[in-house]
């Protein structure tokens, strides 16, 4: 068995100071290097022998990737950490589900080192930042050489540990639109213990007009190969008068839409059952906050 405390493989280590230098280094290594942000996923994978890059391109010395701009809407540099998100009062108030996701990340050490960019680029269906960011309609901006593209985060994930990033592409920014007035949101996560990845997580964003749910976005983590938008459940609430029986119907619908698996964290059966409760709680919380 591999001793996961030891980083035994050899690799080169470069520290660019600009975005341009970083993408040039990646081109020089022909995509056989890895960008490193906080290293909390990458170094674990390398210690386990699951990643063997020729070089690590450390992003942490690039100030142009570390910012959080409120303008309205958010522009988040990829090196922004969970801790910075958690401590931002504006995000707590206007993007409550994102605040709650950052708060739900296991430990102060991981929150301090772990970045939003790394969380998304790792491509895990359990990534805590993905459900709220997708529910808020985030887009991600990426650069390769002199080419640049921006895509909806909802389309970014392609399978467990897989994303649309090419081997040479650098994610630089996460853009989140301003929520409409009377919008409330919530993120609810269940882990085996508080310091663990999610068995199931859900983010709900609701726009309210008096007693009606004008719009609803619902995205779940750890219940499919990618963070999953449950559109059937959204449709049950959208445009309707908000009532307890509709919330119940939406939470039952979710268990039809998700495709969980058995793994070390939970069983597919339990994930389906507990999803109903988590979704109900998240809808009710988001609704109450949408004032």
Ligand X SMILES: Cc1cc2nc3c(=O)[nH]c(=O)nc-3n(C[C@H](O)[C@H](O)[C@H](O)COP(=O)(O)OP(=O)(O)OC[C@H]3O[C@@H](n4cnc5c(N)ncnc54)[C@H](O)[C@@H]3O)c2cc1C
Query: Where does this chain bind ligand X (CB under 6 A)?
Result: 34-42, 44, 59, 78, 105-106, 110, 113-115, 117-119, 121-122, 127-128, 165, 170-171, 197
Nearer to ligand X, 84 or 115 (CB): 115
Identity of the residue, 40 or 175, whose beta carbon is nearer to ligand X in the bound complex: 40
Greatest alpha-carbon span in the chain? 61
Find the residue with minimal CB distance to ligand X. Answer: 118
Least distance to ligand X, CB of residue 165, Å: 6
For the bound state, the minimum distance from the C-beta of residue 236 to ligand X, rounded and expressed in Å, comes to 28
Strand-strand pairing, 55-58 and 12-14: parallel
Decide the pairing of beta strands 74-77 and 68-70.
Answer: antiparallel
Nearer to ligand X, 127 or 220 (CB): 127
Q: How far is the CB of 31 from ligand X (least distance, A)?
A: 11
Between 61 and 231, CB nearer to ligand X:
61
| SS3 track for the chain | CCCCCCCCCCCEEECCCCHHHHHHHHHHCCCCEEEECCCCCHHHHHHCCCCCCCEEEECCCCHHHCCEEECCCEEEECCCEHHHHHHCHHHHHHCHHHHHHHHHCCCHHHHHHCEHHHHHHCCCCCCCCHHHHHHCCCEEEEEECCEEEEEEHHHCEEECCEECCCCCCEEEEEEECCCCCCEEEEEEEEECCCCCCEEEEEEEEEEEECCEEEEEEEEEECCCCCCEECHHHHHHHCCEECCHHHHHHHHHHHHHHCCCCCECCECHHHHHHHHHHHHHHHHHHHHHHCC
Closest separation in Å from C-beta 172 to ligand X:
7
User: Least distance (Å) from ligand X to the CB of residue 59?
Assistant: 6
Residue 149 or 241 having the CB closest to ligand X: 149
Nearer to ligand X, 117 or 247 (CB): 117
Give the shortest CB-115-to-ligand X separation in angstroms: 3
Q: How far is the CB of 246 from ligand X (least distance, A)?
A: 30
Nearer to ligand X, 119 or 230 (CB): 119
Nearest alpha carbon to residue 26 among 153, 164, 147: 147
């Amino acid at each position: 068995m591999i001793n996961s405390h030891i980083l035994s493989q050899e690799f080169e280590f470069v520290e660019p100071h600009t975005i341009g230098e970083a993408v040039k280094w990646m081109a020089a290594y022909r995509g056989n290097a890895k960008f490193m942000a906080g290293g909390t996923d990458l170094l674990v994978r390398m210690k386990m022998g699951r990643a063997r890059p020729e070089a690590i391109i450390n992003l942490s010395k690039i100030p142009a990737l570390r910012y959080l701009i409120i303008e309205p809407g958010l522009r988040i540099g990829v090196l922004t950490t969970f801790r910075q998100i958690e401590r931002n009062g504006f995000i707590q108030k206007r993007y409550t589900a994102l605040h709650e996701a950052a708060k739900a990340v296991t430990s102060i050490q991981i929150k301090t080192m772990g970045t939003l960019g790394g969380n998304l680029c790792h491509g895990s269906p359990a990534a805590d930042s993905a459900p709220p960011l997708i529910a808020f309609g985030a887009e991600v901006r990426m650069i390769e050489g002199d080419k640049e593209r921006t895509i909806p985060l909802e389309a970014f994930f392609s399978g467990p540990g897989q994303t649309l990033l090419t081997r040479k592409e650098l994610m630089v920014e996460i853009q989140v639109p301003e929520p409409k007035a009377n919008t409330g949101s919530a993120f609810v996560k269940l882990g085996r213990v508080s310091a663990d990845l999610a068995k199931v997580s859900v983010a709900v964003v609701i726009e309210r007009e008096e007693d009606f749910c004008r719009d609803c976005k619902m995205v779940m983590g750890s219940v499919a190969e990618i963070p999953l938008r449950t559109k059937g459940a959204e449709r049950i609430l959208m445009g309707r008068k908000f009532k307890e029986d509709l919330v119940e119907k939406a939470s039952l619908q979710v268990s039809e839409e998700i495709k969980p698996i058995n793994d070390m964290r939970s069983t597919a059966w339990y994930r389906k059952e507990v999803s109903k409760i988590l979704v109900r709680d998240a809808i009710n919380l988001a609704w109450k906050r949408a004032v």
